[in-house]
């Protein structure tokens, strides 16, 4: 029973350290705390957790395979959290999302650490969880570029890894490497054919690629029309594809067509939601263009 108390004390200590890193971002007013600050906090938290794993491996409490598995899981979580700040670009902004995501991550990591130690670690080593060295230096230094590069290299040997290609594409979007994101989405679509995924899922991939094509062309959707059409062919109710189709129609001043797409999108949204209200505003602007006084 004593070792269990030590284990939980270590997890609690790590939670407190994590919150100490995140609380300035969690409590700061949004106007004074840009999204970049929350991203920095996530990277700092990742560095802390990775450095703990490094110490446990060096102490002999984690095998190389266990370390690699835990490190990959941390990387996936970091990329997924960063991806929240890039998706969806056509929807409503949710200023509370970075705070909730950071808080969930701060609580989840010690719990996962508890499970990991119970399964493969030494419970007596848990007391060392409270001994967090200075962050941002040494082997625990986070390098998102290196993580993404490593993922890209792995996918060259695993071309049918659909989730991997999607993660790589979204990572490139976060890094504003939109042309690379388009290529990754193309690979994801090829993998989706090999795996015979549902048409609805393929439609989402086409819509995501269309979005990346637009970003690669400074917002112009002319080059994305083929991808948008493919998405709507597979799933006429694909929300992002409908949003992009309407935007593309506006760019060429086809306002009636744009209204048709956005009206279909509105029918899919929860009435009164932020996104629905935004689409309603866009429809009102279209009505003014269609019926000038």
Domain regions of the chain by residue span: 2-142, 144-197, 216-293
How confident is the model over 36-54, as pLDDT tens digits?
Answer: 445 555 555 556 666 666 6
CATH code for the structural domain at 216-293: 1.25.40.10
Phi and psi at 251, nearest 5°, equal: -65, -30
pLDDT of 288 strictly over 50: yes
pLDDT of 116 strictly over 70: no
Query: What is the residue-averaged pLDDT of the chain?
Result: 73
Q: Please tell me the distance from the alpha carbon of residue 61 to that of residue 48, in angstroms, as a whole number.
A: 17
Q: Please tell me the distance from the alpha carbon of residue 270 to that of residue 272, in angstroms, as a whole number.
A: 6
Spatial contact of 10 and 127, defined as CB atoms under 8 Å apart = yes
How confident is the model over 71-115, as pLDDT tens digits?
Answer: 677 666 666 665 554 444 444 333 434 444 444 444 455 445 444
Looking at domain 144-197, its CATH class is: mainly alpha
H or E element: which one contains 6? helix 2-27
Task: Look up tokens 């269609």; give the residue.
Answer: 290
Spatial contact of 269 and 245, defined as CB atoms under 8 Å apart = no
Q: Please tell me the distance from the alpha carbon of residue 6 to that of residue 50, in angstroms, as a whole number.
A: 21
How confident is the model over 133-176, as pLDDT tens digits?
Answer: 444 444 444 577 888 888 899 999 999 999 999 989 998 998 89
Q: Please tell me the distance from the alpha carbon of residue 209 to that of residue 188, in angstroms, as a whole number.
A: 10
The count of residues in the chain is 293
């Amino acid at each position: 029973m004593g070792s269990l108390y030590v284990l939980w004390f270590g997890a609690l200590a790590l939670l407190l350290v994590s919150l100490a890193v995140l609380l300035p971002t969690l409590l700061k007013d949004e106007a004074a705390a840009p999204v970049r600050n929350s991203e920095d906090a996530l990277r700092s938290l990742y560095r802390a957790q990775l450095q703990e794993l490094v110490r446990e491996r060096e102490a002999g409490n984690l095998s190389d395979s266990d370390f690699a598995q835990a490190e990959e899981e941390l990387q996936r979580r970091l990329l997924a959290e960063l991806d929240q700040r890039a998706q969806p670009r056509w929807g409503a902004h949710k200023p509370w999302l970075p705070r909730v995501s950071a808080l969930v991550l701060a609580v989840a990591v010690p719990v996962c650490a508890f499970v990991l130690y119970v399964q493969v670690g030494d419970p007596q080593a848990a007391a060392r969880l409270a001994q967090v060295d200075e962050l941002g230096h040494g082997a625990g230094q986070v390098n998102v570029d290196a993580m993404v590069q490593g993922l890209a290299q792995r996918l060259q040997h695993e071309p049918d890894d659909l989730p991997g290609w999607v993660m790589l594409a979204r990572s490139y979007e976060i890094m504003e490497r939109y042309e690379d994101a388009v290529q990754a989405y193309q690979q994801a679509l090829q993998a989706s054919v090999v795996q015979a995924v549902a048409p609805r899922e393929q439609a989402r991939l086409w819509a995501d690629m269309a979005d990346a094509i637009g970003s690669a062309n400074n917002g112009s959707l002319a080059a994305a029309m083929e991808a948008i059409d493919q998405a709507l062919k597979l799933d006429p109710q694909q929300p992002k594809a409908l949003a992009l189709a309407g935007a593309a129609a506006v760019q060429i001043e086809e306002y009636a067509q744009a209204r048709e797409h956005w009206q279909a999108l509105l029918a899919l949204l929860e009435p009164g939601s932020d996104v629905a209200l935004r689409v309603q505003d866009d429809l009102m602007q279209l009505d003014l263009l269609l019926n000038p006084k």
